[in-house]
Amino acid sequence: MIPQQLTLKNFLSYRKATLDFSGLHTACICGSNGAGKSSLLEAITWVIWGECRAASEEDVIHAGADEVQVDFIFHYQDAIYRVIRTRTRGGSSVLEFQVKTPSGFKVLTERGVRSTQQLIIEHLKLDYDTFINSAYLRQGRADEFMLKKPNERKQILADLLKLDQYETLAEQAKDMSREFKGRSEQIERDLESIKIGLQQRDAIALQCRDVEANVAAMRQSQLEHSERLQQLQAIQHQRQTWEQQLTWHRQQYQNLGQDCDRLQQDSASTQAQQQKLDSLIEQEEEIAAGYAYFQNLQSQEEATSSKLHAHQTAQEQKRLVEQQQLKAINELNLQLQQLQAQLEELGKQDKENQKILAESAEVEAALAQLQQARTKLAQMDKLQLQVSPLLQQRQQLQNQRDRVHARLSAKLEEIQTSASQLQAQQQRQPKLQQAVIEVGVQIEELEKMRVYQQRVQEKGIERRNFLERLQENQRECQNQLAEISQKLQMLQTPDAVCPLCDRPLDEHHWNHVVHKTEAQQKEIQDQFWVVREQLAVSEREIQVLRQEYKQVAQQLARYDSLREQKGQLQAQLQATGDVQDRLQQMAQEA
């Protein structure tokens, strides 16, 4: 895998950076502690495998940012690949895998992040653990390969040397061997069964003749039984036919009995009706006389009904006529009252007219005075119409003068006040500029300190992770020492057996196993003491980093207040920027 280009955005201490490795055979990255050298290599491991030294996935996001993205282009086995990994704070990760073609990058991304990650590992044939123990020795973890268990070291070396291919071939060879062995065993079993069959051929032939004779006899017996069965079936069929005929005759007999009963009932009812008719014929004369009397009464009822109808019609007409007469009388009475009222009113008007005719001279004099007064009133109205516009115009001019005077006075006071304030602000401008510069310098120093704090935090996370791995290795060493001590105790017993294969040991093999186990015990003890020393060193380093982080945090406590102060000073400085122009404009207005 040969890197070609690495692009970082908000990854650990980097906000935005791009490294182009094109044309380089060997690259050296140098810088002071905490400058971010390891972060570049951690970015490569994170974008390809999704793992790095950070404790959690969101720790790789730059402080204050919401999203991290790493874009890595590399050359591998005559092809150029591109991997892009993105993660949002509080969200999920997005992984893209592409390969370069003549028309551009072609997408190889699978449906999910896990499937795409597996596809990348299959193309590279290299996982994260193998990479950090071979091509990349992480800072502070150069001895990680030595601290691993023997089987883990063996697995890493096997992955590097591609020994798994030989294991796959060996497994395939074993499978083929087992398959061919099973086939040969099956063929041998088949041959044995064939031999046994050949030995029993005469007995089987004799049995076959006996079986054939039995089959011929059974067939003859079967034919006889079949003929007997057909006869019995014919008898059974004839019997069923007779039973059906008997059932039909019984049904017919029952139906005829029912018809006979119904005819007897009809005959009895017919005789009863005939007797009733004979009795009615005997009463023929009485019925005729009664019918004649009934017709006479019916004619009398019709005549009476017609008379009653005529009487009711006459009564209705009489009522209508009476109502019309009453209505006409009421209308005449109303007209009479109206005429009497009009007559009284005409009498009153006649009296008033006579009184007015008696005072006609006074009325004429009053009419002459009224005419003169109306003439004077018309002249006064004309004068009023001429004077009113002049008075209104005078009042408007006076009001306008008062408003202009008040506005000019207020404007003059406002200009004087603003001029004094602007002059005071103009005098403060140099001080504000100096204060902004000083606060800016302090903020820059604190921002550098924040970057240093973040690097201290990353260093602390790395040391803490390393400490946890050391503690795990320490526990594993203790467990291994306990197992080895148990093995040594078992070897000290009489008739001891091998701890691995459970076979009895002679003196030579016993000495060999004891020396080998003691050597393993010594090796693990040395490794245990190395881990303890590294634990002590790591704890001291973490303590120092905590003190530094605490001191830096105390110094950064006033970072927000300084930024707020800088914003206020810049706002005041910007407000005083146009003071001279405003003063000149106010002077012109004054």
Q: How many CB atoms lie within 10 A of CB 395?
A: 10
User: Got the DSSP string for 220-247?
Assistant: HHHHHHHHHHHHHHHHHHHHHHHHHHHH
Q: State whether residue 148 is helix, strand or coil.
A: coil
Show the tokens assigned to 376. 């004077």
C-alpha distances in Å from residue 467, one per residue of 223, 253, 536 = 98, 113, 9
Q: How far apart are CA 541 and CA 463, in angstroms?
A: 8
CB count in 10 Å sphere of residue 574: 10
- What is the model's pLDDT at position 363? 60
The CA-CA-CA angle for residues 188, 193, 198, to 5°, reads: 125
Assess contact for 42 and 12: CB atoms under 8 A: yes
Query: Which CATH architecture does the domain made up of 428-584 adopt?
Result: Orthogonal Bundle (1.10)
Q: Which CATH class is domain 2-125?
A: alpha beta
| Positions in the chain short of pLDDT 50 | 141-142
CA triplet 330, 334, 337: central angle to 5 degrees? 140
Distance CA 109, CA 98 (A): 7
SS (H, E, C) 15-66: EEEEEECCCCCCCCCCCCCCCCHHHHHHHHHHHHHCCCCCCCHHHHECCCCC
Q: Kindly compute the dihedral angle of the four CA atoms of residues 146, 148, 151, 157, in this order, to the nearest 10 degrees.
A: -50
Q: How many CA atoms lie within 13 A of 301 on its CB side?
A: 6
| Other residues' Cβ atoms within 10 Å of the Cβ of residue 504 | 10
Helix (H) / strand (E) element for 286: namely: helix 284-358
pLDDT tens by residue, 155-205? 655 555 555 666 777 788 888 888 888 888 888 888 888 888 777 777 777
pLDDT, residue 142, reads 47
Q: pTM of the entire structure? A: 0.33
Strand order in the sheet with 93-101: 14-20, 2-11, 67-75, 80-88, 93-101, 104-107
The residues, ordered by sequence, that sit 6+ positions from 577 with a Cβ below 8 Å of its Cβ are none
Looking up tokens 């060193």 gives 537
Q: What is the pLDDT of residue 73?
A: 93
The CB density around residue 55, as the number of other CB atoms within 10 Å, is 13
Compute the 3-state secondary structure of the chain and give helix, strand, coil in percent, each to the nearest 5: 75, 10, 15
* Res 186: pLDDT: 87
* Domain-wise residue ranges, the chain: 2-125, 428-584
* SS3 category, 86: strand
| % residues pLDDT > 90 (the chain) | 5
* Cα distances (angstroms) measured from residue 240 to each of 227, 230, 245, 413: 20, 15, 9, 137
Residue 154 tokens read as 């063996």
Which helix (DSSP H) or strand (DSSP E) does residue 82 occupy?
strand 80-88
Q: Which residues contact 580 (CB under 8 A, 6 or more apart)?
A: 426
